[in-house]
Amino acid sequence: MRNPSSSSSSDGTKKITPCCSKVGIKKGPWTPEEDEILSNYIKREGEGQWRTLPKRAGLLRCGKSCRLRWMNYLRPSIKRGHIAPDEEDLILRLHRLLGNRWSLIAGRIPGRTDNEIKNYWNTRLRKKLISQGINPTTHKPLIFNQVVHDQLASSSSTSNPNTPSLEIMEEAGVSSTHQAAATNFTTNYNIPIDGGFMMGSLLPSSHGHGHNCIGDYIDNCDEDTFSSFLDSLVNDDDFMNHINEQQQQSSVSSYNNIGTIDWEFADVLSTKVGSDDQHGAAASLNDQL
């Protein structure tokens, strides 16, 4: 494990983490005895008050370490071991929508911790996607993105600056129907090609400022709505019902076509124009429909 004395900031000065700086605080792997003490204490007294918990429980650990051990290993609800294919699929779908929001992703997968999912992603899923030629950050094809982006950069032949050129769409194999939809889609929703819209900005605590129907939809959600939105990803059939309910309740015009947008096209388009993240939301939702 890591050397406790090696902690330093980028400018070389030592940084002290208050709860872990005391002499006599144990670090490194937990022993079965420590696990038992912590488990028994939390079962008896409950979670929380992590900073003072070690002293009260009689452990020579910092509160952070106790919390982590409990959250990631000792909690009775934790499901350890092999991640099933359906769990893997869910991780992929949620990551495509949420990015590296491990805690949020874990919250949607019963019995799995953020640390476990993060590790699984970094050691397996990331490599798996790369081996399949998929960018693990954007979930788009690795090579195609670059080619189209380069083409797009040298093109200025469309009247709407947000719309990819018809030549590019033809080259990319987009049908004429979808080409027309592209113009409508990008015009109606004023989607800027360069986006700057991170998937993480879909979250209530980190609002994006791009104009995107899905982004707007989620930006205007409260936490319960967002939570139920994520639940709908787990239960695919619920998603359209959820959107339709929101449509009826909302007078925001940009929501009006949300149930009729050609999401398959949105996915194709997002790949073609290279504004991965902004369209990534639509693309990920497309997969659910």
Residues in contact with DNA by the rule CB under 7 A: 1-4, 6-10, 15, 17-20, 27-30, 48-52, 63-65, 67-69, 72-73, 100-104, 114-116, 118-120, 122-124, 127, 205-206
Q: Residue 116 half-sphere exposure, CB side, CA atoms within 13 Å?
A: 20
Q: If DSSP states are collapsed to H, E and C, what string results for 148-188?
A: HHHHHHCCCCCCCCCCCCHHHHHHCCCCHHHHHHHHHHHHH
What whole-number distance in Å separates Cα of residue 221 and Cα of residue 12? 43
Q: Are 250 and 109 in contact (CB under 8 A)?
A: no
Residue 19 DSSP label:
G
Q: Which is nearer to DNA, 121 or 185 (CB)?
A: 121
Measured from the CB of residue 199, what is the shortest distance to DNA in angstroms? 12
Measured from the CB of residue 13, what is the shortest distance to DNA in angstroms? 9
Measured from the CB of residue 41, what is the shortest distance to DNA in angstroms? 14
Measured from the CB of residue 219, what is the shortest distance to DNA in angstroms? 16
Q: Which is nearer to DNA, 103 or 175 (CB)?
A: 103
Q: Which is nearer to DNA, 98 or 152 (CB)?
A: 98
Cβ-count burial 48-87 (b if 16+ within 10 Å, e if not): eebeebbeebebebbbebbbbbbbebbeeeeeeeebeeeb
- For residue 249, give the 3-state DSSP assignment: helix
Q: Which is nearer to DNA, 62 or 285 (CB)?
A: 62
Q: Are 193 and 161 in contact (CB under 8 A)?
A: yes
Measured from the CB of residue 192, what is the shortest distance to DNA in angstroms? 24
What whole-number distance in Å separates Cα of residue 163 and Cα of residue 181? 10
Q: Which is nearer to DNA, 254 or 284 (CB)?
A: 284
Measured from the CB of residue 55, what is the shortest distance to DNA in angstroms? 11
Q: Which is nearer to DNA, 164 or 208 (CB)?
A: 208
